[in-house]
Structure formats: structure tokens, C-alpha cells
Amino acid sequence: MADLQTKVLKANQSGVNKAAAILSAGGLVAFPTETVYGLGADARNGHAVASVYAAKGRPGFNPLIVHVADLKAAKRYAIFNDLALSLAARFWPGPLTLVLPLTENHGLSELVTAGLDSVAIRIPQHPVAQALLNAFNGPLAAPSANPSGRISPTQAAHVVADMNGKIDAVLDGGNCVIGVESTILKITGSKVSLLRAGGVSVERISNVLGQDIATPSDPKLPQSPGQLKSHYAPKAHVRLNVDIVKGHEVLLGFGPDCKDAALNLSPTGDLVEAAANLFSYLRKMDAMAQDGIAISPIPMSGLGLAINDRLKRAAAPRP
């Protein structure tokens, strides 16, 4: 990714079409929303989504927000109950993200959902984001277009300053109007929980629903998916940094020197490929494991930090 020449595209039809073509080819394009600039990738393409994590230097794999053009598209990926539909009718398009159960055969990369059975989804209001989503005609995974831990970008120039040479293009749609990320709500039956405060106030949502919203200050409410130490764990016991397999363990390999591996995250040692395969391969290994899963060492550099973070959680003692 270091050899990329990041293009700045005008937010006209030609620029939008070029951006859509880059995304269709598995590339990364930053684009404006009403909140902040998002770093877009085809949410169905695991390699493209892994490249988002690599570009951001993100230390762990947490669920990414999927952006779609309309409610019909959202229903391809998420299951809406009446409560979710009422929120969508009031606040979409707009700066509200809903965490909802996944549909069957949704086709999203497991790296987008972080292996969970739910998806974070929203319909952006920004006209350039809408034009891009319609031209691309698919779901875009799009966290903020900045290095992990840095200030979120509200102008194309911010993206170029932080991400030049790491992504394919920036679609310049001017300044973002709201300037803070979307509000994230999780819908569980008739309960609404706030996972992140943002562009829509809790008071507005409560007034529309006529009910209180559980907030992050509630001690029983996790701040976000993936915080529990042993979350995402396979049923089988997991042993890390394995050079010699024991007993009837099955080996999940990495790199060219893993001839006995049942599966190999990347035979060539490509960390982007390994990240793209991580969640689906863990599921497959869990299905074939008789006496535990052994996992080859993975470098603690680049995306290897995020991969090892998630594997450490998978291997943690069960509560």
C-alpha cells in the first residue's frame, strides 16, 4: 500500500464513477458523509476490508459500520423489527447507526461484523455519499478516514494529510456539516441501548420512541461489541504461537512453513490476506477440531497486531 498514489477526485459524476470503479476493484476510497469522511471499501470483499484496517493502523478488529443507499438495501443485510423501522423512518437518511441482527445469506465479510451475528448499518444523508452508493450499487464498510487514534477528518484535505499513499482516492465533497460521528443504537427486541453518542441526541431519540434509552453509564451494558476478554472464542480450546502440534490438535497455519496445517491464513505470509480469512477460518477450524486448535506464530507488526489481539481473546480462559 505504500506505493499507492492517492487521487483527489472531484465530486461530479465523473469523479463519483471513478470512485465507484475503484471500490468495485477492491480499492479504498474516502468519501464525505454528513458526519465525517469515511474510508470506504466493499463490505462484501474481505481483502478490501482488511486493507481498511491496514491503512488505519487499527490495533483490533471491531465491527465496522455498513453504509447503504436506502432502506431496501439495508434490509438485505439486517433484520428490522417495528422499533428499528420506526427509528429508520424518523432518522434515515442521517447520522444514526442501528445495530441489528444479520439476515441469512447476507454476503458481508465477517471482518465487517467481527464475527458477530449482528451488523451496524446506516443510510448517510450527504448527497455525495448517496451518489457514490448508488453508483457503486452495494454496501460500503466505512470507518472514519484517519489513522487509528487520530482526529476524525471533516475535509478532504484532512484525509490527504493523514492517508496520502495509503488509500486509492479521496472524493472531495467539501466540509462535513455535522463533524462528529453517527450515534450508534443497538436494538434488542423492545430495548434500545446507546453504544455511542453522536450526531443525533439521545433526547431526540427518546422523545420519538417515548421511552428511555440505556446509556454507556449503565454497569451491565458493554460499551461496544468485543470488549469481553474471551469474546469471539471458538468452542474448542485455542493455543497460540505453536511450533509443535500436540495430540489431536488441528493446526491453523500462517506462512509457507506450515505443511501440516489444516488451513493456512496466508501461505505467502500476507497479513492482509490473513486478516481477511481470520473469522471464517476460525469457524471452520472449530468445526473440525477434536482436541483443540493450534495456531502458528503471527508477526506482531502491521495487521499482525490486530490479528494477535483477536486471537488472544479467542484463547482467553472461559468465564
Cell numbers describing residue 130: 448517496
Q: Could you read off the pLDDT of 206-253 as tens digits, one per residue?
A: 999 988 887 755 544 444 444 444 445 688 899 999 999 998 899 999
One domain, residues 32 and 148 = yes
One domain, residues 75 and 159 = yes
Q: Could you read off the pLDDT of 68-124 as tens digits, one per residue?
A: 999 999 999 999 999 999 999 999 999 999 999 999 999 999 999 988 899 999 999
Q: Is the dihedral of CA 216, 221, 224, 226 positive or negative?
A: positive
Of 146-150, 153-157, 263-267, where does mean pLDDT reach its minimum? 146-150
- Nearest 5°: the CA angle 293, 298, 299 is 165
Return the pLDDT at 197.
85
- Asked whether residue 221 is assigned to any structural domain, the reply reads no
β-strands 37-42, 140-141 pairing: antiparallel
Return the pLDDT at 216.
59
Of the three residues 209, 224, 258, the one that is the final residue of a domain is: 209
Q: Is the dihedral of CA 221, 227, 229, 230 positive or negative?
A: positive
One domain, residues 55 and 163 = yes
Integer CA distances (angstroms), 39 to 14, 54, 187, in order: 19, 12, 25
Instruction: Say yes or no to pLDDT of 30 above 80.
Output: yes
Return the pLDDT at 3.
64
Of the three residues 209, 226, 256, the one that is the final residue of a domain is: 209
- Asked whether residue 231 is assigned to any structural domain, the reply reads no
- Asked whether residue 229 is assigned to any structural domain, the reply reads no
Instruction: Say yes or no to pLDDT of 59 above 70.
Output: yes
Q: What proportions of the chain, in percent to the nearest 5, are helix, strand and coil?
A: 30, 20, 50
One domain, residues 197 and 76 = yes
- Asked whether residue 182 is assigned to any structural domain, the reply reads yes
- Asked whether residue 223 is assigned to any structural domain, the reply reads no
- Asked whether residue 2 is assigned to any structural domain, the reply reads no
One domain, residues 249 and 192 = no
Residue (of 63, 14, 56, 13) closest to 38 by Cα position: 56
Residue (of 147, 119, 117) closest to 53 by Cα position: 147
One domain, residues 183 and 268 = no
Return the pLDDT at 217.
54
One domain, residues 153 and 251 = no
Of the three residues 209, 228, 248, the one that is the final residue of a domain is: 209
- Asked whether residue 104 is assigned to any structural domain, the reply reads yes
Domain residue limits at 60: 7-209
One domain, residues 310 and 175 = no
- What domain count does the chain have? 2
CATH number at residue 203: 3.90.870.10
One domain, residues 169 and 124 = yes
Q: Kindly give, in sequence order, each residue whose CB lies less than 8 Å from that of residue 218, ignoring residues fewer than 6 positions away.
A: 193
- Asked whether residue 195 is assigned to any structural domain, the reply reads yes
One domain, residues 119 and 266 = no
One domain, residues 200 and 259 = no
Integer CA distances (angstroms), 228 to 99, 137, 306, 319, in order: 18, 35, 16, 10
One domain, residues 11 and 93 = yes
